[in-house]
Amino acid sequence: KIKRNPVKKIIIGDSQGAAIKVDLIEKVSGEKFFNYCIPGASFETIFDMFWLAAGQTKLEKVYFTVAFMNYSSNRSYNIFHFAQDYFDKPYLYFMTKENFFDSFVNAVYQITKDTAIIQNSYEFAPVEEMNKIARSRLKMFFENYTYPKAYYSELNKISQYCNENNIELRFIILPV
């Protein structure tokens, strides 16, 4: 969508920022933003998303959602190439069984509003199960933490680019 309709004000991040309601921001501030937060995005992915957006339009405002659980060298991965594949060949999106299945389930749920369809979601888990999930995620994210010097360097590069191009750059730290 960012390639088809580039906007000058964006919010970039992972799933934590995906729920930010740009229509509410527009209603309150009068400014139109695009929410470019993608579930599963790593810092590498977010950096690539920024550079793609910067190459598409003259950005005015950029808000990064910062997820400290991903701010670790041990969480290094990049899903941006999937997005590039889908830009180049959009039909590929539905060619993976996971995307096809998720899209089908989401469509059925939107039509029927039957919560049994999504009953296996962790959102419906009992408190004990939620605590177990939380402990395992804390262990996964922080047990072998390594400071990501490369992320810090890239954030500085982005900051410098924004300063040189008169782009307002802000960081949003959302509660986990």
pTM of the model: 0.70
Q: Which of 48, 46, 24, 21 is nearest to 35 (CA)?
A: 21
25/124: higher pLDDT: 25
Residue 151: closest CA among 68, 71, 45, 96: 71
Angle (nearest 5°) at CA 83 between 149 and 63: 55
Residue range 87-115, pLDDT digits in tens: 577 666 666 665 666 677 778 878 888 77
Q: State the greatest distance between any 2 C-alpha atoms of the chain, in Å, as a whole number.
A: 52
